[in-house]
């Protein structure tokens, strides 16, 4: 699933490419992806003629400011936005642009396409078709976003704020707490694993048993890992691709996520995997003792 760095990269790319562009039309072959309004005809009517005045991220959500309306896209498990030009050939969308948009199979699951006045198309490729798309009023957007915890890269997310969050939460395994979007927004499996490995904290450790020093290590590890991943374009070990269709390069420094059986880059022990709420978690049994 695209997490904070992947979503941030998508937003930064689109800010440079589609701001002040206008939606002319929209196509889909999977209307269930549109959650609000549920009627696709109403959604299309609400999109057509709207200019993109602002684009930003909140947690894992991408938000397009369209005047009095807001387009919210959550890419969920396998979705990613692409910017390019496609044409329909024999019932399949084919990229008119050479390179990864045309060759990478992960960029071929197009289920939602927005037509822009620049002649380009903004497409959502989503293998599993779990993505959520909503056209909201300001009040509806605020209600949606108030469910989310603070962003770990925003200016107000200080070490003191992080301590306060954990103290208020009181109970829970640190891995699960980091991934709880109502506590901290934007973190998922990849960056919780990478953060805890760097901080030398076992994913099953209870937050009530964390020392001040351990909390500090988690805080600075989280900020460092997220910042590095953003600079590297995110992680593309699975489905995520940048809007130009290219892969992110976080793979170059990935230390623990999906490295079961491989050597720990710090101590040489074999990386292990365990299940937490049916989600895989990767850790070093030597560096991250419980």
Average pLDDT over residues 233-251: 96
Q: Is the pLDDT of residue 1 over 90?
A: no
Domain boundaries, the chain: 4-145, 159-283
Report the chain's terminal Cα–Cα distance, integer Å.
27
Which among 3, 6, 8, 194 is annotated as catalytic? Answer: 3
Confidence tier at 32 by pLDDT (50, 70, 90): very high
Architecture category of domain 4-145 in CATH: Alpha-Beta Barrel (3.20)
Note if 2 is an active site residue: yes
Which among 32, 45, 231, 279 is annotated as catalytic? Answer: 279
pLDDT in tens, 60-101: 999 999 999 999 999 999 999 999 999 999 989 999 999 999
Whether residue 134 contacts residue 43, with contact meaning beta carbons closer than 8 Å, is answered with no
pLDDT in the model for residue 260: 97
Q: Is the pLDDT of residue 246 over 90?
A: yes
Please count the helices (runs of H) and the strands (runs of E) in the chain: 8, 13
Which among 57, 60, 205, 259 is annotated as catalytic? Answer: 60
CB atoms closer than 10 angstroms to residue 45: 13
Q: Is the pLDDT of residue 277 over 90?
A: no
Note if 42 is an active site residue: no
Q: Could you tell me the sign of the dihedral formed by the alpha carbons of 190, 195, 197, 202, in that order?
A: negative
Note if 60 is an active site residue: yes
Domains 4-145 and 159-283 share a fold: no
Note if 203 is an active site residue: no
Architecture category of domain 159-283 in CATH: Orthogonal Bundle (1.10)
pLDDT in tens, 33-47: 999 999 999 999 999
Q: Is the pLDDT of residue 170 over 90?
A: no
């Amino acid at each position: 699933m695209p997490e904070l760095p992947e979503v941030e990269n998508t937003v930064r790319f689109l800010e440079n490419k589609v701001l002040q562009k206008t939606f002319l039309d929209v196509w889909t072959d999977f209307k269930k992806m549109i959650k609000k309004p549920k009627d696709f005809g109403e959604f299309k009517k609400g999109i057509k003629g709207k200019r993109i005045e602002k684009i930003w991220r909140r947690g894992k959500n991408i938000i397009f400011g369209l005047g009095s309306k807001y387009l919210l896209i959550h890419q969920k498990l396998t979705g990613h936005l692409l910017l390019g030009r496609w044409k329909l050939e024999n019932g399949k969308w084919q990229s008119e642009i050479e390179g990864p948009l045309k060759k990478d199979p992960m960029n071929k699951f197009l289920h939602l396409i927005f037509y822009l006045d620049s002649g380009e198309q903004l497409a959502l490729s989503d293998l599993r078709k779990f993505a959520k798309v909503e056209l909201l009023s300001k009040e509806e957007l605020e209600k949606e976003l108030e469910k989310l915890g603070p962003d770990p890269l925003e200016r107000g997310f200080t070490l003191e704020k992080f301590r306060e969050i954990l103290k208020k939460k009181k109970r829970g395994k640190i891995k699960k707490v980091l991934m709880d979007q109502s506590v901290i927004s934007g973190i998922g499996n990849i960056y919780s694993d990478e953060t805890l490995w760097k901080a030398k904290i076992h994913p099953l450790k209870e937050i009530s048993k964390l020392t001040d020093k351990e909390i500090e290590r988690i805080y600075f590890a989280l900020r460092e890992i997220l910042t590095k991943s953003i600079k590297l374009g995110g992680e593309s070990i699975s489905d995520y691709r940048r809007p130009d269709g290219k892969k992110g390069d976080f793979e170059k420094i990935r230390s623990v996520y999906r490295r079961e059986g491989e050597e720990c880059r710090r101590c040489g022990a074999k990386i292990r995997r365990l299940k937490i709420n049916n989600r895989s978690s990767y850790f070093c049994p030597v560096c991250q003792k419980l």
